[in-house]
Amino acid sequence: MNAPENAFVSRTASRSERLRQMLTSNELEFLMEAHNGLSARIAREAGFKAIWGSGLAISAQYGVRDNNEASWTQVVDTLEFMADASDLPILLDGDTGYGNFNNVRRLVRKLEQRGIAGVCIEDKQFPKTNSFINGERQPLAEVDEFCGKIKAGKDSQTDANFSIVARVEALIAGWGMDEALRRAEAYRQAGADAILIHSKLSRPDEILEFAREWAGRGPLVIVPTKYYSTPTDVFREAGISTVIWANHLIRASTSAMQAVARTIHSSQTLVDVEDRIAPVNEIFRLQDADEYSEAENRYLSNSRTSASAVVLAASRGAGLEALTAERPKVMLPIAGKPLLRWLVDAFKKQGVNDITVVGGYRADAIDTAGIKLVVNERHEQTGELGSLACAVDALQGDTVVSYGDLLFRSYILRDLVESEAAFSVVVDSSLTEPDNSSVKDFAWCSAADDRGLFGNKVLLRRVSNDVQGDGKEQPNGRWVGLLNVRGEGRERLQAVLGTLRARPDFDSLDMPALLNALVEAGEQVEVQYVHGHWRGVNDLDDFRRAGDFAHTQTPFSAEGAANGAAR
């Protein structure tokens, strides 16, 4: 008796080693059927030590018959998903080996390459039929021919632990006990690592008789699908090595799917089934979704795909009342599409896909396609920072904070999101141009815009709508309304915002107050100078001119269409 050494099979042993140890152990062992990655994982979680890759179940999950209708490569591809989803050894039900000795050789090599622990081949003729369908009319293989397949398989394996189980169908085909024993002995001598003796009777009598006559000449495997009411101890006492629960996961899922499909179809609602089926989170867990999220943090943390934006869009638009009775300023059409859509498209073009828009006035009229909308219910009493505070939860990865009433050339946003600085802002140095004269966010910086400066760091000193500022110095430009917050800058911005929130005048504060508070808190806010190439939409004149600017952003082929829409 070598039970003590085999009772513990190390998880670090290879899969083929573990299957071989199960076959040769003196314990009764069990294989559970699985037919895809999900069921393989479920079998492992239930505690099984190995899996039966059932031909019946794999065919059935494809919706085809157990007559080799699925090709052997389709079966092997399915096994690959199973082996990836579960670290258990898999014994493939390889039917007849899908051809002659040569097909068995290739099958064994391919199974080894995919980490499959063994294959069971049966002594029928290709294409086979399931043993429970007209068994007596199923032709058996010649004994010598089948022994050749076993030998070919054993000779072609490179892993000494890969197991070949020979399945005797003589009892199924009605050829009697003597023939079954004669075949089993021939297969053992040909090199089979175990014999699977199959029966379709509802009682185990012929299996037990076979086991008695076999007298421990080698491991015996059984499939008690038909004699299921036999107590398992009977198999133990008969010296059976391994029991295969051959089709119970495909049958369980079939019953569940039938019941749920019928219920949803007849009730036309999900309410009767929701609490009776696996929650979506359970599916995510079985797919190991958490591992993906961790890997995403590890490998995608600097990627622009994780970037987000907060768009401040709560205002009606001073000076635009005539146009904004029914909608907020951001929903005004510019060259055929709402201002907000121009902005959202511009963000998406730069891979900034997680966009939160803070609405206020007529937030109900905001088109929410592709964005998340949060509403500043107190928009009439608060300034811009009151709106930004509503989106504080949206500040997660790298974030661009933007006014909602902006149009700009795409390079402006591209350069901003590519900045490595914790804080960076766009400042337009074209102070004397008539465009954007309505924008009052004057910016004072550490240096004026100068081509000679290109590549040097310029820092923001202050933003104010008082062009005189606190001294004689002329401003260096206008803040465009774009702030990029990167990496640890996010938490520092949240801290500064938290401090401002505690002030009694918080409701009156705007974005420049936040920029100034960041600078006062010692943060370096880097300036990216531009010279035009953007529009703020602050009054009726801006609105009229914005259409022309928007057309410069329209693809040539679409320009005609956009013009048409604007007319």
Residues with catalytic roles:
66
From ligand SPV, Mg ion, none, interface partner of 247 (C-beta below 5 to 8 A by class): ligand SPV
Which CB, 94 or 477, lies closer to Mg ion?
A: 94
CA–CA gap between residue 419 and residue 401 (Å, rounded): 14
The reply on whether position 21 binds ligand SPV by CB under 6 A is no
CA distance 528 to 428: 8
Q: Hunting for tokens 């070919």 — which residue is that?
A: 152
User: Shortest gap between Cβ of 66 and ligand SPV (angstroms)?
Assistant: 6
> What is the SS3 string spanning 226-249?
CCCCCCHHHHHHCCCCEEEECCHH
Identified binder of ligand SPV from the candidate list 56, 222, 366, 400, rule CB under 6 A: 56
Binding at 413: pick from ligand SPV, Mg ion, none (beta carbon under 5-8 Å per type): none
Smallest distance, ligand SPV to C-beta of residue 244, A = 7
Distance CA 415, CA 482 (A): 12
Shortest distance, position 219 Cβ to ligand SPV, whole Å: 17
Distance in angstroms (rounded) separating the CA atoms of residues 290 and 328 = 40
Q: Report the alpha-carbon distance of residue 216 to residue 363 in Å, rounded.
A: 80
Q: Which stretch binds ligand SPV (CB under 6 A): 51-59, 277-285, 369-377, 385-393?
A: 51-59
Give the nearer residue to ligand SPV in terms of CB position, either 247 or 308. 247
131 binds, among Mg ion, ligand SPV, none (CB under 5 to 8 A by kind): ligand SPV
Least CB distance to ligand SPV at residue 352 (A) = 52
54 binds ligand SPV (CB under 6 A): yes
Pairing status of strand 333-334 against strand 337-338: antiparallel
Q: Which of 534, 538, 567 is nearest to 552 (CA)?
A: 534
Contacts of 130 by beta carbon, 8 Å cutoff, 6+ apart = 55, 56, 65, 66, 67
Smallest distance from the beta carbon of 29 to Mg ion, in angstroms?
A: 19
In the DSSP assignment, the letter for residue 54 is: -
**Residue list 438-497, contact with ligand SPV (CB under 6 A):** none
- Residues sharing a CB contact under 8 Å with residue 391, sequence separation 6 or more, in sequence order: 310, 356, 358, 374
Of 37-45, 48-56, 107-115, 418-426, which segment contacts ligand SPV by CB under 6 A?
48-56
CB-CB contact of 238 with 212 (8 Å):
yes
Annotate 311-368 with DSSP letters as a single string: EEE----TT-GGG-SSS-GGGSEETTEEHHHHHHHHHHHTT--EEEEEEBTBGGGS--
* Residues 500/514, Cβ–Cβ less than 8 Å: yes
Which one of 54-62, 156-164, 288-296, 371-379 is the stretch in contact with ligand SPV (CB under 6 A)? 54-62
197 and 171 Cβ atoms separated by less than 8 Å: yes
Are 152 and 166 in contact, with CB atoms under 8 Å apart? no
Residue closer to ligand SPV, measured from CB, 121 or 439: 121
Phi, then psi, of 232 in degrees rounded to 5: -65, -30
Amino acid identity of residue 79, one-letter, is L
Using rule CB under 5 A, residue 169 touches Mg ion: no
* Residues in Cβ contact with 138 at an 8 Å cutoff, skipping those fewer than 6 apart: 124, 125, 128, 129, 131, 169, 172, 173
Q: Which of 37, 55, 336, 536 binds ligand SPV (CB under 6 A)?
A: 55
Closer residue to ligand SPV, CB minimum distance, 222 or 515: 222
Identify which of residues 76 and 496 has a Cβ nearer to Mg ion in the complex. Answer: 76
Does 96 help bind ligand SPV (rule: CB under 6 A)? no
Q: Closer to Mg ion at the Cβ: 165 or 485?
A: 165
In this structure, are residues 440 and 541 in contact, taking their beta carbons and an 8 Å threshold? no
CA–CA dist 1, 222 (Å, integer): 22
Site for ligand SPV, residues 237 to 266, rule: CB under 6 A: 246-247
Which stretch, 68-76, 93-101, 270-278, 340-348, contacts Mg ion (CB under 5 A)?
93-101
| Rounded distance between C-alpha atoms, residue 518 and residue 469, angstroms | 18
| Residues 125-144, mask of contacts with ligand SPV (x by CB under 6 A) | -----xx-------------
Measured from the CB of residue 39, what is the shortest distance to ligand SPV in angstroms? 13
Report the residue from 17, 29, 33, 93 that binds Mg ion according to the rule CB under 5 A.
93
Q: Locate tokens 């979506």: which residue?
A: 280
Phi, psi dihedral angles at 66 (to 5 degrees): -85, 55
Stretch in the footprint of ligand SPV (CB under 6 A) among 50-58, 110-118, 514-522, 559-567 = 50-58
Q: Per-residue contact track with Mg ion, 38 to 57, x per CB under 5 A?
A: -----------------x--
| Complex with Mg ion: residue 125 or 306, whichever CB lies closer | 125
**Residue from 75, 223, 238, 412 in contact with ligand SPV (CB under 6 A):** 223
Please check whether residue 227 is in contact with residue 202, taking contact to mean a CB–CB distance below 8 angstroms: yes
Strand partners, 464: 442
32 binds ligand SPV (CB under 6 A): no
With respect to ligand SPV, which residue has the nearer C-beta, 55 or 89?
A: 55
- Residues 527 and 478: their CA atoms lie apart, in Å, by 11
Which residue stretch of 52-60, 136-144, 493-501, 537-545 sits at the interface with ligand SPV (rule: CB under 6 A)?
52-60
Our CB check for Mg ion shows the closer of 55 and 512 to be: 55
Nearer to ligand SPV, 244 or 307 (CB): 244
Residue 53 makes contact with ligand SPV by CB under 6 A: no
Q: Is residue 441 a contact residue for Mg ion (CB under 5 A)?
A: no
Number of residues assigned to the chain: 567
Residue 50 CA to residue 32 CA, distance in Å, equals 7
Residue 223: which of Mg ion, ligand SPV, none does it interact with, CB under 5 to 8 A by kind?
ligand SPV
Instruction: Compute the least distance from the CB of residue 130 to Mg ion, in Å.
Output: 6
Site track for ligand SPV across 502-541, x = CB under 6 A? ----------------------------------------
Contact, 460 vs 519, CB < 8 A? Answer: yes
Distance between CA 190 and CA 153 in Å, rounded?
A: 10
123 binds Mg ion (CB under 5 A): no
3-state secondary structure of 400: strand
Q: Which residues of the chain form contacts with Mg ion (CB under 5 A)?
A: 55, 93
Q: Which residues of the chain form contacts with ligand SPV (CB under 6 A)?
A: 54-56, 93, 130-131, 223, 225, 246-247
